[in-house]
Amino acid sequence: MSFPEIGLPHWNIFSHSSVLLRVSYLAKGTNPMNQLLTPGRTLLFLLLLSATILQAHAQSPDKTAPPEELARTVTSLDSALFDAYNQCDLEKFGTFFIDEVEFYHDQGGVTLGRQNLTESVKKNICGKVRRELVPGTLEVYPMRGYGAVEMGVHRFHQPKVDPNKPVGEAKFIHLWQNKEGVWKITRVISYDHRSLRQ
Residue spans of the domains in the chain: they are 11-59, 67-195
- Find out whether 117 and 105 touch, Cβ atoms under 8 Å: no
Mean pLDDT of all residues in 73-89: 97
- The DSSP code sequence of 84-152 is HHHHT-HHHHHTTEEEEEEEEETTTEEEESHHHHHHHHHHHTTTT-EEEEPTT--EEEEETTTEEEEEE
Element (H, E) at 191: strand 182-195
Mean pLDDT of all residues in 160-170: 87
Task: Return mean pLDDT, the chain.
Answer: 79
Judged against a pLDDT cut of 60, whether residue 14 lies above it is answered with no
- 93 torsion bin: left (phi>0), alpha (psi -120 to 50), beta (else): alpha
Domain 67-195 has CATH 3.10.450.50: yes
pLDDT at position 55 is 53
- What is the pTM assigned to this prediction? 0.67
pLDDT in tens, 89-144: 999 999 999 999 999 999 999 999 999 999 999 999 999 999 999 999 999 999 99
